[in-house]
Chain A
Amino acid sequence: MNFIKTNRLLIGLASSILFFSFLASMILTSFGNVEVKSLRLDTDKGQYIVYDLFRPNSAKPESKAPFIAIIPGFQRSKEALSNIAIELSRRGYVVALIDPYAQGLSSSSLSTRAATTQGYGMFSLVEDVHSGAFNFVDIDKIGATGHSMGGNAAIRGADFFGKQAIQNNTKSKLDSVYVSGYVLTLRNNILRDSKSNMGVSYALYDEGAFRNELTAWDSANMIIAPESLRTVNSVLPKEEQIKEVELGKYYGSKEKNSLRVIFNEPVLHPFQPYNFEATANQLDYFEKVFGAPNPINSNNQIWHWKEIFTLINMVLALIMLIPIARLFLDLRFFSSIKKDIPAPLNVPNGKGKIIFWSIFFISALIACTTFIPMVEVAKILFEDAANRKLTWFFPQRMNNSVMLWAAFNGLVGIIIFSLSYKLFGKRNGVDTKSWGLGINRMDLLKTCILALVIFATFYALLFINYALFHVDYRFWFMGVRIFQPEMLAVLLMYLPLFLIFFFSNSLRVNGAMRFKDQPEWLSMLIAGFANSLGLMLIIIIQYSVYFNTGTVFWTTNWLSVNLLFGIVPMMFILPYFNRIFFRMTGRVYLGPLVTCLVFIMILSTNTVVYLPIK
């Protein structure tokens, strides 16, 4: 009873998470009308894919349903496209939502052209399903859809199975594909051999369109883009060829597997899968080519409720780190970690104020200007991962640059912190005790153990939650995911260099940004911006230039900039945690240890990882 009283918040949060997960699972399973389970398909030479199979109750051997494979794009795991899986499955389609090779729970690929030559694993799955793996699937109605690189996999699938069909003089095993957010490989040779119906949806404000054939704003305009014109004209007789595409109009013939339709939704590339109009267009397309076993108007969509519930859970789960920490800190073993909170600094004024804000902006500027160079440095330092070779040496090519950036900026932060003390603070009576650095070896060890215990508890609850409801904590592509055991080794590899940044942040937030009589909310807000402003600036520059010219500022590394959409929120909330843990322990160590473990695991499980195949 006492336990319940003192841990009311923890119990409340855990119960709420279970409740919202239950609600999310209701959406995922269309209120129990769809069975969702994870399956693994061993493909070739030790490679395998893990996928979620959405089987509507109406799909039975006596009433077979069409089958649609969904392939997420680069850096995305299967859960990132659960929205379209939900909408398709509630309409009666059997859906397989794939973790692409080297992403999520699937194995790496032996090929560096996994999307091109294997459709990220989709080719094997289509072969498997077509050979009768599921007796409730109509093998004449197999389709595939994907976004971005997953869209490329769908295009390549149309080509691969088209060539196979030509060779065998049969119908293509892949009856229809729907390509979202990718047009680069809609080339004559691909379209010539495709024997699949094809829908193409491209965001009008796709920031990756600088790679397309036209330039600036024209590049993503699918009415006049050569890519969309080719797609349509490849199925039209010469005399009927068009010079402008009518968006949403179906060209060609479904019976001849030459149906073509183009959409052009006004949205940015990463947000295209989460756009109601784009989702409706996709649903309409599959209704047209397959006919939904359970027709529902395409504007009737429920997927966003799952996103809301899992977003609530993501927030609650992160908040839950606090009562988890409190729970363990109350144990006798850990109680010695708790120290009095050192006195805060006096509010700076005059020169101190100038120095504070100068450091604030200089740090942000350094953070902003060093990110893209670190992307380049990472290519040199981590050559194997950069070339997508299978390796145990820092195998996450996108995370490598973030890690270097973090280590560099962490060091810069510590240097600036020390210099500002030596040059200014010392002379103005700053007491180093206020930093909360003093700790003995045993307490430091206990702090490390406690951080591991908190991390383990946090993820244990996630795994239990996933086992019960098959949902994790997420909003769109930002997710707290479950992971395979190898990821613990990956985490250990990335932890030390990232820890420099997290520790530096804790030191600055608690040692240099904690002032007497300053409201906590203001102090935290400043700290949040101090930690994330540099990266925010990159996004602001990238998209200001884009909206002014039609071409993004950083073209070669545009995907690295996209990565920041997931990182900036983490950077913003990091100081909050560092302050809260500081208040619990009076020291600067527990915050960075816990947040580094949790946040880096979140980062690591949401990116590509080129681990050797067992």
Chain B
Amino acid sequence: MKNIYFFLFLVFISSCGGGGGGGSEAVPQNNPPTITNSTFTFSALENQNLAFVLQASDPDGDSITFQITGGSDQSSFTINDSGQVLFLSSPDYENPSDANLDNSYEVAIRAFDGNLYSSSYDFTVNITNDESDDGSNNSSAVCTDQAESTSYCTIDWDNLEREFYVVFPGSFSSDKSYPLVISLHGGADYADANMEYTGFTQINDQNNFVLIFPQGTVAEGKGDTGWYSGGDCSNLEVCDISFIEKLIDYSIEELSINPGRVYVSGFSNGAFMAYTTACFLSNKVAAVAPVSGSFSPEDYDSCDPQRPMPVIHVHGLDDSWIPVQGGDYVTPLQLVSNYWSSFNSCSENIIVDGEDSNGDGYSWYSEISTSCQDGVSINFTYLENFGHSWPASDSNKGGGADIDGAAFIWEFLSLYDISGLIN
């Protein structure tokens, strides 16, 4: 222990050494350089070498060079004579090579004027995706006819071959423009089953809208089919929000879809995903219709819609999987309803009681927020004596609800486009 004190004493003495001994000759004082970049976080497009350019000044006008002093990704960089910080090999967004593989490179740099060093500064370079190099993401959908008016399609996206079904109305003509309803299946569920149980295919003919039933992936982290809700894909195995956006873009370009009338519905896990689209694709989605789902807590905290969003939500009061009062990973529906009413600046609330149309002694009611911005409204409909199922009035489809979910939802959705209430 004594040795440690002695060592520290020596260090202390030696560090004071510079201040000792006043000389008789005046030595011109040198000042250290300073790095003057106004920001230390940069974005750089993948596949290019330039990360950012360093700026520095020296009070004595000495010429400045730079040195890499640390950072978990220091070995990925070099600095040229012009102060350009370059990647030794250009980064690939799809295959990050930084230390923690999050496409965020960290490096510490200091300036040197030949005598003195500046402080060391920590820089972060976030790599952004250049979609033009995502060869597989640029391909168009490959479709085969499955049945009359129904196509089975695949499209390469995010290095996965994604599947979806398209159901056209009988009178479909590519010269016209159609509303689109995207219907998302639940967890451990399938698009073709969703096509059956939702009943949307029974009403799209007479109401002239196109349907898309996308298939969720079998994510290895989940182990079964489903959707990764959430607008930030950095922690997600599969970026489903970008897939849904791709589907919307594709359908507008290829399927004569009216860009102002794209709606998203979803059941259970698909309902969570529908809310994600309301939060993060509000510039492309006119209204959403989640059924038997909720906001994930993450979406609830980060939801960022850019315009008033009409919402119709249908839920069984006896749903034990996604309880009305919330639970793990489930935001209570009252909070969800309040969020949208508040966001849409709604000023009136009404309750509409429904009829017991199936005669089981139970009925339903809707809590509706109206007088909202752009004429939108929020409708939270609760079904008594009803669990975690899609509400189908046809009990043969396993529903036995007082309402026909598909018709009920369409009646609401069809009132709105991307600008709000259709006049």
Contacts and interface: CB of A to CB of B under 8 A. Distances in A.
Interface of A: 45, 110, 112-117, 149, 152, 184-185, 187-190, 208, 210-211, 213, 376, 383, 387-390, 555, 559, 612
A190 B215 CA distance: 13
B335 interface: no
**Which among B190, B193, B223, B238 has the highest number of chain A CB atoms within 10 Å?**
B223
Given A45-B95, A117-B159, A189-B161, A211 B223 contact: yes
Contact of B237 (A184, A388, A559): A388
A579 B374 CA distance: 74
Given A149-B220, A185-B218, A188-B163, A387 B235 contact: yes
Please list the 10 inter-chain residue pairs (A to B) with the smallest Cβ-Cβ separation, ordered nearest first: A211-B224, A112-B237, A189-B154, A184-B218, A211-B188, A189-B161, A387-B235, A213-B190, A185-B218, A189-B163
A210 B221 contact: no
A208 B328 CA distance: 23
Contacts of A190: 161
A115 B220 CA distance: 8
Interface string B145-165: 000000010100001110100
Contacts of B193: 213
A50 to B, nearest CB: 21
Contacts of A211: 188, 223-225
**Which among A110, A187, A612 has the highest number of chain B CB atoms within 10 Å?**
A187
A117 B161 CA distance: 11
B97 A45 contact: yes
B163 A110 contact: no
B100 interface: yes
Contacts of A376: 328
Given A389-B100, A612-B100, 20 more contacts: A45-B95, A45-B97, A113-B160, A113-B220, A113-B237, A114-B220, A115-B220, A116-B160, A185-B218, A187-B163, A190-B161, A211-B188, A213-B190, A213-B193, A383-B235, A387-B235, A387-B236, A388-B221, A388-B237, A559-B223
B27 interface: no
A13 B190 CA distance: 55
Contacts of B163: 187-189
A185 B163 CA distance: 12
B11 to A, nearest CB: 32
Contacts of A184: 218, 224-225
A130 to B, nearest CB: 22
Nearest to A159: B161
Contacts of B219: 113
Contacts of A114: 220
Contacts of B192: 213
B226 to A, nearest CB: 10
Contacts of B235: 383, 387, 389
B200 to A, nearest CB: 19
Nearest to B188: A211
Interface in B77-110: 95, 97, 99-101
**Which among A114, A149, A188 has the highest number of chain B CB atoms within 10 Å?**
A188
22 contacts: A45-B97, A112-B220, A112-B221, A113-B160, A113-B237, A114-B220, A116-B220, A149-B220, A187-B215, A189-B161, A189-B163, A211-B223, A376-B328, A383-B235, A387-B221, A387-B235, A389-B235, A390-B100, A390-B101, A555-B188, A559-B223, A612-B100
B216 to A, nearest CB: 11
A100 to B, nearest CB: 11
Contacts of A112: 220-221, 237
A17 B88 CA distance: 54
A213 B193 CA distance: 8
Interface of B: 95, 97, 99-101, 152, 154, 159-161, 163, 188, 190, 192-193, 215, 218-221, 223-225, 235-238, 328
B89 to A, nearest CB: 12
B103 to A, nearest CB: 12
Given A149-B220, A187-B163, A213-B193, A110 B95 contact: yes
A156 to B, nearest CB: 10
Contacts of A213: 190, 192-193
A326 B109 CA distance: 59
A113 B238 CA distance: 9
A574 B237 CA distance: 38
Contacts of B101: 110, 389-390
Nearest to B329: A376
A318 B95 CA distance: 45
A87 B154 CA distance: 40
Nearest to A187: B163
A401 to B, nearest CB: 14
A188 B161 CA distance: 11
A190 B128 CA distance: 31
Contacts of A555: 188
A172 B100 CA distance: 36
Contacts of B154: 189
Contacts of B215: 187
A359 B219 CA distance: 42
Nearest to B226: A211
Contacts of A383: 235
A349 to B, nearest CB: 44
Contacts of A187: 163, 215
Contacts of A116: 160, 220
A321 B46 CA distance: 56
Nearest to A116: B220
A213 B195 CA distance: 13
Contacts of A149: 220
Contacts of A189: 154, 161, 163
A184 B163 CA distance: 14
A114 B95 CA distance: 13
A211 B185 CA distance: 13
A185 B223 CA distance: 11
A388 B236 CA distance: 10
A376 B235 CA distance: 17
Nearest to B161: A189
A582 B25 CA distance: 80
A149 B160 CA distance: 17
A548 B178 CA distance: 48
A559 B224 CA distance: 12
Contacts of A612: 99-100
A321 to B, nearest CB: 36
A376 B152 CA distance: 37
A190 B224 CA distance: 16
B143 to A, nearest CB: 11
Nearest to B238: A113
A114 B238 CA distance: 13
A612 B152 CA distance: 40
Nearest to A373: B328
Contacts of A115: 220
A213 B101 CA distance: 35
Contacts of B224: 184, 211
A117 B158 CA distance: 11
Nearest to B215: A187
A504 to B, nearest CB: 27
A436 B223 CA distance: 47
A410 to B, nearest CB: 24
A211 B187 CA distance: 9
A612 B97 CA distance: 12
Nearest to A113: B220
Contacts of B95: 45, 110
Nearest to B218: A184
A107 to B, nearest CB: 13
Contacts of A113: 160, 219-220, 237-238
A213 B236 CA distance: 25
Nearest to A192: B154
Contacts of A559: 223
Contacts of B188: 210-211, 555
A475 B237 CA distance: 34
A114 B161 CA distance: 16
**Which among A184, A383, A390 has the highest number of chain B CB atoms within 10 Å?**
A184
